[in-house]
Structure 1
Amino acid sequence: MSVLPELEALVDAALRDAELVYEHPAPGRFLVDLPGTNKLKTVCGLVLGEHGLRIEAFVCRQPDENREQLWTWLLQHNARMYGVSYSIDTAGDVYLTGRLSAAAVTAEEIDRLLGAVLSYADDHFNTMLEIGFGTSIRREWAWRVKRGESLRNLEAFADFVERG
């Protein structure tokens, strides 16, 4: 007997009750928008299968520089994280991924996992950008200053640029 209909109903109700913006593009698949501060939005995929739930969220594209430093930073954080961990795909893009057994899928656990994804993607986003894209950030900052352009969407990196 398939557990998919039961899991799907549970996930749908949990997302609705949490008042999250989400899509249900196919059976067993959900795309949830998690609003952030540093990373304005993280789209989190929930994929249901006979044995449980897979969760995956894109965090940032492959770094332009300092790849080994970023990978080290991500691996060090994995040891302290709940429910998901950082991973990279074949292109080097950074994701948060995790799995739950079917028996562990509850509304409370879905809420906890989505909160973890939001926290790890949002709280660490600027640090990941500083490590992997520092030269580009500093170059963009200097170009904008030289031309008198707005620095509004780079303000989070002011201390980083000054330290450099």
Structure 2
Amino acid sequence: MSTRIVHELTYEAPLADVAAMLADPAFRDEVCVNQRATKHSVSIDGVQGDPMKVRVEYSQPTDRVPGFAKKFVGSEVDIVQSETWTSPDRGDIHVTIPGKPGELVGTAVLTEKDGVTTETVTLDITVKIPLVSGKIEGLIGKIFGSAMRAEQRTGVAWLSR
């Protein structure tokens, strides 16, 4: 089993501007800072449609994680987010938590209507821990929902500059 989350990030900007933002390492750095990452690194190779490969490695504090989950994750969790953008409007996402039995796999799709771009992120969360996998998948979904809201706030500010 897995848990699916779908999150929409809306930007008052054309698709080309949002795609360029997502391809900018400085934007990705700023997102990590705004997501409370204790450390991070960003690499972007290629250009969209080439395909463009994005890799974001970061560590998150777990001070907001419920007690039942802390024994699985510790005081900090490392996250590796890999994206492959085969076009400016579609990317495949794979998120792993090294050393932990879980992953997130999905897509990011950009659509534009009347100069407003929506990024729809769909992720299937899978945790392989008997008895508590559903609870942990739900928790990961909430954490990534919060992370995506931070990314959207960062993106809105970025695009208004």
Q: So what's the TM-score if we normalise by structure 2?
A: 0.37
Q: Highest CA radius of gyration, 1 or 2? A: 1
Greater relative contact order, per chain length (Cα 8 Å cut-off, separation 6+): 2
Identify the structure with the greater strand proportion. Answer: 2
Identify the structure with the greater helix proportion. Answer: 1
